[in-house]
A = this chain, B = another copy of it.
Amino acid sequence: MELKNDLLLRAARGEKTERTPVWVMRQAGRILKEYREVRGRLSGFIELVQTPDLAAEVTIQPVDILGVDAAIIFSDILVIPEAMGLPYVMEEGTGPIFPKTIQSRADLDRLKVADEDSLGYVTEAIKVTKRELNGRVPLIGFAGAPWTIFCYMVEGKGSKTFSLARKMLYTHPDFAHTLLDKIADSTINYLKSQITAGADIVQVFDSWAGILPAVQYEQFSLKYISKIADAITEVPVIVFAKGAYASRKSIGKVNCNVVGLDWNMGIQESKALIGADKTLQGNLDPATLYADFNKIKLATRKMIDQFGKDKHIANLGHGVYPDIDPDKVKCFIDEVKEYSSRN
């Protein structure tokens, strides 16, 4: 099926585009009343992730309502530990909790490498989404970076310091590498299954990139992101490492097409560090969307000017906050389209 709007894919590959493509992290629902209506029919977030027809429905909502240039499959980075044999629950207001965590060699040995069939509900949701999108825009698949997944598997939940996960890097580095490699292999299989099902491009999210010093980040995170990026040859790869200020130069050497910037990463400085062969994605401060429409437009224009016309995918510098007015998100999206179309 030929895509009617392939701006995102062309920009990702470094090709010239008529205007800057735009999408928003966490756009699949979260802010939309239409999402909450679907979500309200089910008992929980995980049930929605595991129900392909409904996951597809909320995936497509922002395409219809906000006019983004790509859909991103509604799912969760923690399906990978689940597929490896470590299930989680989602506590409202608290976030994900793993009743069991990985502490011992026995825990590690019990984990399996997720194969291409182990996340059938995601691949099914992708197939339904692709059918219903009917070529309107590309579909983004995604996974968490091994380091971020590792943090959850070791800590069992979010943390202010992730000191348990970081402790393991100092006390049992070989153990950490074995676990990270197992996660990376699972992630490669998982992303390949998403691509087979129809994902047109994939993003790797390293949410906890910012807690490691640069040397450890290379050893324990980028190494495995690189393994994934090297293995995914079918479609373009986006790497978004939030907070990895000190590692931007190294990220520029990863075999990926696009590097995502968070809202605190200076655009010119990041361009210089990452290098001209990558497309950059980002990076408006998500809190900008609390401002009035006029300020949002001005901030959006300033961002577009700084990135320049080519090799840029417009986005926020992190996921959209749940209490943002959808009309403000639409204002951002419309302004990217309008302003970047001018000669």
A interface residues, Cβ below 8 angstroms from B = 158, 160-161, 163, 166-167, 169-171, 210-214, 216, 243, 245-246, 263-266, 269, 285-288, 290-292, 295, 318, 321, 323
Q: Which of A158, A210, A265, A287 has the most CB of B within 10 A?
A: A287
CA distance A265 to B169 in the complex (A): 19
Q: How far is the CB of A262 from chain B (nearest CB, A)?
A: 9
Q: Report whether B264 and A212 are in contact in the complex, using a CB–CB cutoff of 8 Å.
A: yes
CA distance A293 to B242 in the complex (A): 32
CB-nearest residue of chain B relative to A285? Answer: B213
CA distance A323 to B288 in the complex (A): 39
Copies of this protein in the assembly total 2
Q: Report whether A287 and B163 are in contact in the complex, using a CB–CB cutoff of 8 Å.
A: yes
Given A161-B321, A245-B245, A321-B161, the answer on whether A264 and B166 have CB atoms closer than 8 Å is no
The contact sample of 8 A-B pairs, CB cut-off 8 A, is A161-B286, A163-B287, A210-B210, A210-B264, A212-B264, A213-B264, A214-B266, A246-B266
Q: Which of B245, B263, B266, B287 contacts A170 (CB 8 A)?
A: B287
Chain B residues whose CB sits within 8 angstroms of the CB of A210 once the complex forms: 210, 243, 264
Chain B residues whose CB sits within 8 angstroms of the CB of A290 once the complex forms: 163, 166-167, 170-171
Could you list 5 further interchain pairs (A-B, Cβ under 8 angstroms) beyond the known A163-B323, A170-B287, A245-B264?
A: A163-B286, A166-B285, A167-B290, A169-B287, A210-B210
Chain B residues whose CB sits within 8 angstroms of the CB of A171 once the complex forms: 290-292
Chain B residues whose CB sits within 8 angstroms of the CB of A161 once the complex forms: 286, 318, 321
